[in-house]
Chain A
């Protein structure tokens, strides 16, 4: 019976081809908009999250709780013992302090102002830095305040435009450091910054302390052994620091917190735009209802005859309901294809990954079928309620 109804529906829809196509168009536009908006939203989210994760996935850091700092000239600082205590916690793989200063750097031929990072030996792992050439400094070099430096790609290119900088000497404010490694340039967001990408060099924090005299540790970066137990690690670190310096003097944050916040924001954005696209679906549904009502009126005689030869109310109801569901699902299928096409075009033209998932396709399809049912019920009900005698006489 269902198959009979689908065959009937197909015949009826083909008989009014132009009308059917125009009705379909409403659904197609709605479904395509939903598919495209959701996929592009998800793609954008995945892109941003990917970018941020590349800064050091699962990374945790400690800094003064700036909202409670009274004297910005003298923010609270951590001691080396605190670093040791954090390093001794379960679930900690690497701990590195971070000192920052902007200094004048020079090769034998060129000079530039660079951001100097005084860090520990595990910092490359903590921040997910990948080496282009050479190596990062080790704990022994940190221990003995070795004058070694790792360059960002930008600094390497600016100061040694023609040569390989490895083994050369970099002068930082008059003190000689030997270059032992260069980093790969960032990808995506960082790469797109071009000339504005950061001019950074990395030296052992012990060397930094000796050169600048700066002793106060204001930022610490921690790499957990596994990203899953970050939340308990956050609590452990927070309670150590709370016990030593007072509640919330220092704040402990993870990249996951930030990612979660971004996820929330982009989810809400996708939801809002998706809802607007959903209105297009609603309009498509109203179009289907309109056409189905016209169709019922046009086929009053057919309905009368069907009743005379034995169709029950529910048979007529199902016949017309099937018809509207066939229209809406057909519109849904075409809309999914169109939406997926738009998404793959967008992802080809931009860096956004294409994220049309099986889930979203199934959702769009069932939603369009549902629209057919919701907006088809009333016309089908009207058809089923027709009085056969009047319907047979209808001109």
Chain B
């Protein structure tokens, strides 16, 4: 059913200049994620997975190679254009939630729509809908410190979904949660996947990764692709 891939990376490298030395964080990544897929990228710390996430998330530009997001070449766009892409095409879920502390759940979810210049009334309607999708319609006006860890992450997921992104990017989404709550969040990802959301999940935890449809491994800046979630090194 999927035609063009949502993510297509060709020969992506990322080299950091650290003083006199060059650090090659990514050494030629080829990655393709189709619409509706649920992919996990797994790797230990220092493997380059964070760098890859930044590149897929358009927070950074590759040193070389080409990156198409939803058919658009994004590796050469300006900062402002990348901000627009992040706003319209991507949704981020972080390990530490990154909610704005003094705002209600609803206001938090509205934030991306503010940058998309959506008028206030529609903003409110769409944010409410997004919170309903993560089963938080009873917590609209609670501030983050009045919510449990799982609820906070669900607010963050609602915020990631509110702009109808082409790709949901999750970086260790269960890292700050206990096992039961983590399971609950992963079940939510499953549901979202069932309903057609394309998800890229980044983790070091095999138990989390195995929930995905397809698991890729990254090590020393190279994808050592494997579709076997259980597979050892």
- A18 in the interface (beta carbon within 8 A): no
9 interchain pairs (CB within 8 A)? A11-B103, A308-B92, A309-B92, A309-B112, A310-B83, A310-B86, A312-B84, A313-B83, A389-B54
Q: Which among A4, A15, A301, A308 is the interface contact of B86 at CB below 8 angstroms?
A: A308
Of the candidates A1, A302, A310, the one having the most CB atoms from chain B within 10 angstroms of its own CB is A310
Which residues of the partner chain A approach B84 to less than 8 Å between Cβ atoms?
310, 312
Q: Which residue of A lies closest to B162 (CB)?
A: A309
B83, A311: Cβ atoms closer than 8 Å: yes
Complex Cα–Cα for A15 and B111 (A) = 19
B111, A306: Cβ atoms closer than 8 Å: yes
Complex Cα–Cα for A380 and B116 (A) = 21
Contact with B along A1-42 (1 / 0, CB 8 A): 100100000011001000000000000000000000000000
Complex Cα–Cα for A311 and B83 (A) = 6
- Counting from the closest, the 9 A-B pairs by CB-CB distance are A310-B87, A310-B115, A309-B112, A312-B83, A305-B98, A312-B80, A388-B59, A308-B92, A310-B86
Which residues of the partner chain B approach A15 to less than 8 Å between Cβ atoms?
102
Contact with A along B119-148 (1 / 0, CB 8 A): 000000000000000000000000000000
Q: Which among B79, B86, B87 is the interface contact of A313 at CB below 8 angstroms?
A: B79
- B100 in the interface (beta carbon within 8 A): yes
Complex Cα–Cα for A199 and B114 (A) = 80
- B117 in the interface (beta carbon within 8 A): yes
Complex Cα–Cα for A311 and B94 (A) = 17
Which residues of the partner chain A approach B48 to less than 8 Å between Cβ atoms?
none
Which A85-113 residues have a C-beta within 8 angstroms of B?
none
State the Cβ distance, B57 to closest chain A Cβ, in Å. 7
Total count of chain A residues near the partner, CB < 8 A: 22
Q: Show the binding face of B for A, using Cβ within 8 Å.
A: 54, 57, 59-60, 79-80, 83-84, 86-88, 92, 94, 98, 100, 102-103, 111-112, 114-117, 159, 163
Q: Show the binding face of A for B, using Cβ within 8 Å.
A: 1, 4, 11-12, 15, 301-302, 304-315, 388-389, 392
Given A308-B86, A309-B112, A392-B59: 12 more A-B contacts, CB < 8 Å: A1-B114, A11-B103, A15-B102, A305-B100, A307-B86, A309-B111, A310-B115, A312-B79, A313-B80, A388-B59, A389-B59, A392-B98
Which residues of the partner chain A approach B54 to less than 8 Å between Cβ atoms?
389
Complex Cα–Cα for A1 and B80 (A) = 17
Which residues of the partner chain A approach B88 to less than 8 Å between Cβ atoms?
310
A309, B117: Cβ atoms closer than 8 Å: no
Which residues of the partner chain B approach A1 to less than 8 Å between Cβ atoms?
114, 117
Q: Which among A301, A315, A389 is the interface contact of B98 at CB below 8 angstroms?
A: A301
Which residues of the partner chain B approach A4 to less than 8 Å between Cβ atoms?
114
B60, A389: Cβ atoms closer than 8 Å: yes
B57, A308: Cβ atoms closer than 8 Å: yes
Q: Which residue of A lies closest to B115 (CB)?
A: A310
Which residues of the partner chain A approach B112 to less than 8 Å between Cβ atoms?
309-310
State the Cβ distance, A304 to closest chain B Cβ, in Å. 8
Which residues of the partner chain B approach A309 to less than 8 Å between Cβ atoms?
86-87, 92, 111-112, 115, 159
Of the candidates A305, A308, A313, A314, the one having the most CB atoms from chain B within 10 angstroms of its own CB is A308
Complex Cα–Cα for A4 and B118 (A) = 12
B102, A11: Cβ atoms closer than 8 Å: yes
Complex Cα–Cα for A309 and B80 (A) = 12
State the Cβ distance, A8 to closest chain B Cβ, in Å. 9
Q: Which among A302, A310, A314, A388 is the interface contact of B100 at CB below 8 angstroms?
A: A302
Which residues of the partner chain A approach B92 to less than 8 Å between Cβ atoms?
308-309
Which residues of the partner chain B approach A308 to less than 8 Å between Cβ atoms?
57, 59, 86, 92, 98
Q: Which residue of B lies closest to A393 (CB)?
A: B50
Complex Cα–Cα for A253 and B94 (A) = 83
Complex Cα–Cα for A314 and B84 (A) = 12
State the Cβ distance, A11 to closest chain B Cβ, in Å. 5
- A307 with B59: in contact, given A4-B114, A312-B79 (CB under 8 Å)? yes
State the Cβ distance, B99 to closest chain A Cβ, in Å. 8
Complex Cα–Cα for A389 and B25 (A) = 15
Which residues of the partner chain B approach A305 to less than 8 Å between Cβ atoms?
94, 98, 100
